[in-house]
Amino acid sequence: MQISKAESQVMQFLWERHPATASDVFAALGSVNDWSEATVKTLLNRLKKKGAVATEPDGKRFLYRPAIERDAWVLEESSHMLNRLFDGRLAPLVSHFSNHGKLSREDLDELRDLIERLDDEH
């Protein structure tokens, strides 16, 4: 499933808050992205054509809701990046961030806890 940058913002919104009308989407994203209503309509339509959102009539308008799982999309996107940049491995990514001072104490703590927990689950 190919979802563009602008489209993905619409999806992000729908994943958090669905069903939603086109106006809802515009209300939430229009000012942030400086989109006109027309732009939002186009994005919703393209997503519909791609099968990424489903619509359900509600009186004279539509209710939109995601038709694909956020998790699946996130996994696909992040896997691509990981493969492309880090040979598909996580440790080099973490290491990279650390090397560039992008790993805060907090991140480190979080990661340590997580790893421990995962270790315990054997």
Partner DNA sequence: CATTCACGTTTACGCGTGTAAACATTCAGC
Partner DNA sequence: GCTGAATGTTTACACGCGTAAACGTGAATG
Q: Tell me which residues touch DNA (CB under 7 A).
A: 2-7, 21-23, 33-39, 41-43, 45-46, 48, 59-62
Q: Is 107 in the site for its own copies (CB under 8 A)?
A: yes
Residues in contact with its own copies, counted by CB under 8 A, come to a total of: 33
Residues 9-68, interacting with its own copies (CB under 8 A): none
Nearer Cβ to DNA, position 45 or 95?
45
Q: Which residues 6+ apart lie within 8 Å of 14 measured at CB?
A: 20, 25, 53, 64, 65, 66
Q: Is 111 in the site for its own copies (CB under 8 A)?
A: yes
Q: Phi then psi for 34, rounded to 5 degrees?
A: 60, 45
Distance CA 60, CA 114 (A): 48
Residue with token string 């598909």: 88
Partner whose binding site includes residue 43, from its own copies, DNA, none (CB under 5 to 8 Å by kind): DNA
CB of residue 97 vs DNA: minimum separation in angstroms?
24
CB of residue 101 vs its own copies: minimum separation in angstroms?
10
Distance CA 36, CA 41 (A): 9
CB 59 within 8 Å of CB 53: no
Residue with token string 């996994």: 75
Interface residues with its own copies (CB under 8 A) are 8, 71, 74-75, 77-79, 81, 84-86, 89-91, 93-100, 102-103, 107-108, 110-112, 114-115, 118-119
